[in-house]
Structure 1
Amino acid sequence: MTESGLTPRTVEVLHSIVQSYIETGEPVASRTIAQRRKDHLSPATIRNIMADLADMGYLAQPHTSAGRVPTAKAFRHYALSVSQHRSGGADFARLREELIEHPGVEERTERTTHFLTELTRNVGIVAAIPAASQTLERVELVWLPDRRVLMVVVTGDGMIRNQLAQLKVPVSPAELESIRNYLNLEFSGWTMTAIRQELDRRLAEERAAYDTLLTRLSMLYKQGLLEMGMTPLVFLDGTSNLLGLDAHLTTERLRELFRALEEKQRLIEMLDQFLSGRTDELQVHVGLGEAHPALSQFSMIGIRLAATGGVETRLAVLGPMRMNYPRVVSTVSLVSHLLRSLPQ
């Protein structure tokens, strides 16, 4: 018996049912499974096995005279059994080359999303989540003509982020130097979260309105200083692949689904919810109705990668329950392995 209480033969029958249902979308009869097998089990024997599987919650019978259909429990069992082979090939060599050529977090995240969609023909989702423990090493502020300032933030993990600020009032190079010295002296070594909280407190004090340095600092702060690289990046690709799916969605439900997938915060919450397990471990979720009613007939296969360079990566493929699990599982596994192997 396996850990789930299934014998090897029962597992073979279960997986044959899942594969047949993925291919046809029709309830599966015992005779169909008997014809697929090489050991010549009789339809009667298979019917008994199917009855046991139904009792254990792996199969359902939509109509009395119809065959059986796999439940979410069955799909998950099948997906977890699929080999996570890492044979790679030309496609993965191409992705690796592209990611090495474009080391920026945003570019890597976006390209990985497109790649997941291209290979699986489902919806690819990749998020880069800044680690809450990131600390400030130093700030550099570069004066530019036309009231512009190049803001550079270096964090303790060695990451360098920059952003151009357009100010409404002029700031002199000397004032920028004072702001830079103030931030580096006061906050070097602090976490970015703690710095923002303390600055919010100091800038809210009445004296800040009369302090020239804090007034100038406030302008840069409102332009995104100390927020650079702290906002999660989320990319989604392949929603057009949802059109034409036999997922029993009304036109209105499909619109609701598209709207939900367009919301960045909703995507982050969904990844938090379904990729909450251990890092570097493939996770399979079948039936996502708790995230959105329109997702009840969908599956998500993904993985959460440990933070490197101050950023945690979460990647997933969203598709119908009747997705090609071997293709999706191997793609997610190989892409995650590839990302871990890239130079930082």
Structure 2
Amino acid sequence: MIVELNARSRDVFRSIVDSYVATGEPVGSRTLSRRLTEQLSPATIRNIMADLEEQGLLFSPHTSAGRLPTDAGLRLYVDGLLEVGSVTADERRSIESRVAGTGRSVETTLTDATNALSGLSRYAGLVMAPVSERPFRHVEFVPLSPGRALVVLVMDNGMVENRVVDVPLGMSPSVLAEAGNYLTRRLANRNFEEAYQAILREIAENTSQLDEIAKALVETGLATWAGDRERDGGFLLVKGQAHLLEDVTNIVQLERVRALFETIESKKSLLKLLELAQDAKGVQIFIGSENELFGMSGCSMIVAPYRSGAAGADGPDVVGAIGVIGPTRMNYARIIPIVDYTARVVSRLLGSRHGSLDDEV
């Protein structure tokens, strides 16, 4: 498509998209004639705009002469005309200071990265980590408060998952330790599903040496993981949804964004898109009606995969995806490098990258 546009058409189209990103408002031929470097009459510009509209790249939202880019037009702009910027020194420092640090769990690192993206972009930040199928090597129950404990699972690649579970009141630390030791012995070199089935069989056959209280604790911990796996399909975190309301200008848009919030809460559709991003290389951009999730909300998503330190045949394993949801008129040139840089900071912290990130940007 991009080769079909001559130089004048490209300049007019780029100016329309730039105006849309800056204001969200339609732009007319008279305004464009004052902005373009090449001196073109309003009549010439109107003819070019008519041609672009016929090609499905522009549309007129009402009877005025102003035009806006369609979702197809934005895709053409992003793929063929966009000049991506670079991450500023201040943005790098902000990302590093919010995300980097020692002794943090994976979930904390991802939460901090999501908050950093939301804060810098002023859109909703999101991150997804799929349920791990890797073997586990250690399980521990940590008392939190009366009736509550934290279950910590360490996988063979060093990544950590945790859940808060209910436990019987008055359960002693020694019973918690016994349950953790029992699971650790049987999780060695097994993935979750294998361990889950094997341990439940052993408990059902009464062959374990655990007492009844510890058995109940083990079953509770395993059931928590099983329930989360079946219901959610992975860990999904979205921060800063309120930012999506900042560009809402009418009731129709408000209802569309509210519908998007409901879809985000249901997770399933969003997880499918994020899984697509996992399978791709580099930053992925989903624009408006290109997908069912954003078709009616006027929103787009920019995501990039992040990787772990465990290398497979094709390099480090992709662990999940991180990015932002924002209006279709988001500043793609600025947000794309921010998302990319944040994903690589997270990857570095997970041990998959070495050396200076500055050399890669």
Say whether the fold is shared (TM-score over 0.5): yes
Aligned match for 1:326, one of 314, 324, 333: 333
Q: CA deviation at 1:71?
A: 0.4
- Asked if the contact 1:82/1:329 (under 8 Å) is kept, the reply is no
Establish whether residue 45 from structure 1 lines up as the match of residue 44 from structure 2.
yes
CA distance in 2 between counterparts of 1:174 and 1:65 reads 74
Cα distance change of structure 1 residues 99 and 273 upon mapping to structure 2, 3 Å threshold: closer
Cα distance change of structure 1 residues 259 and 50 upon mapping to structure 2, 3 Å threshold: same
1:340 paired residue number:
347
- Asked if the contact 2:98/2:113 (under 8 Å) is kept, the reply is no
Q: CA deviation at 1:62?
A: 3.6
Choose 1 or 2 for highest CA Rg. Answer: 1
- Asked if the contact 2:306/2:321 (under 8 Å) is kept, the reply is yes
Cα distance change of structure 1 residues 21 and 154 upon mapping to structure 2, 3 Å threshold: closer
Cα distance change of structure 1 residues 336 and 243 upon mapping to structure 2, 3 Å threshold: same
1:74 paired residue number:
73
CA RMSD, Structure 1 to Structure 2 (Å): 3.9
Gaps of 5+ in 2: 311-316, 352-361
CA distance in 2 between counterparts of 1:78 and 1:129 reads 32
1:223 paired residue number:
221
Cα distance change of structure 1 residues 325 and 160 upon mapping to structure 2, 3 Å threshold: closer
Q: CA deviation at 1:89?
A: 0.8
Q: CA deviation at 1:48?
A: 3.0
Cα distance change of structure 1 residues 12 and 307 upon mapping to structure 2, 3 Å threshold: farther
2:110 paired residue number:
109
Higher deviation after alignment, 32-41 or 95-104: 95-104
- Asked if the contact 1:60/1:69 (under 8 Å) is kept, the reply is yes
Q: CA deviation at 1:58?
A: 0.5
Establish whether residue 239 from structure 1 lines up as the match of residue 237 from structure 2.
no
Q: TM-score if structure 2 supplies the norm length?
A: 0.74
Cα distance change of structure 1 residues 99 and 48 upon mapping to structure 2, 3 Å threshold: same
- Asked if the contact 1:141/1:180 (under 8 Å) is kept, the reply is no
- The amino acid across from 2:349 in the alignment is L
Cα distance change of structure 1 residues 329 and 21 upon mapping to structure 2, 3 Å threshold: same
Q: CA deviation at 1:312?
A: 1.8
CA distance in 1 between counterparts of 2:176 and 2:123 reads 52
1:34 paired residue number:
33
Gaps of 5+ in 1: none
- The amino acid across from 1:220 in the alignment is V
2:90 paired residue number:
90
The number of aligned residues is 334
Identity %: 29
Question: Aligned with 2:322: secondary structure?
Answer: strand
CA distance in 1 between counterparts of 2:150 and 2:255 reads 46
Cα distance change of structure 1 residues 28 and 308 upon mapping to structure 2, 3 Å threshold: same
- Asked if the contact 1:284/1:302 (under 8 Å) is kept, the reply is yes
Q: CA deviation at 1:332?
A: 1.4
Q: TM-score if structure 1 supplies the norm length?
A: 0.78
Q: CA deviation at 1:167?
A: 3.7
1:120 paired residue number:
121
1:314 paired residue number:
321
Cα distance change of structure 1 residues 176 and 49 upon mapping to structure 2, 3 Å threshold: same
CA distance in 2 between counterparts of 1:147 and 1:114 reads 31
- Asked if the contact 1:126/1:313 (under 8 Å) is kept, the reply is yes
- The amino acid across from 1:56 in the alignment is Q
What is the CA deviation profile of residues 263-306 of structure 1, one whole-angstrom value per residue up to 9, with x for unaligned ones? 2x42x5314225614444211122157226652x1111122223
CA distance in 2 between counterparts of 1:53 and 1:321 reads 19
Cα distance change of structure 1 residues 50 and 342 upon mapping to structure 2, 3 Å threshold: same
1:159 paired residue number:
159
Question: Aligned with 2:30: secondary structure?
Answer: helix
Establish whether residue 12 from structure 1 lines up as the match of residue 19 from structure 2.
no
- Asked if the contact 2:152/2:161 (under 8 Å) is kept, the reply is yes
Establish whether residue 54 from structure 1 lines up as the match of residue 60 from structure 2.
no
CA distance in 1 between counterparts of 2:350 and 2:173 reads 39
What is the CA deviation profile of residues 180-224 of structure 1, one whole-angstrom value per residue up to 9, with x for unaligned ones? 35x455542121233224444555x5x34x866485434323135
- Asked if the contact 1:88/1:334 (under 8 Å) is kept, the reply is no
Structure with the bigger RCO (C-alpha within 8 Å, sep 6+) is 1
Cα distance change of structure 1 residues 9 and 147 upon mapping to structure 2, 3 Å threshold: closer
2:134 paired residue number:
134
2:193 paired residue number:
193
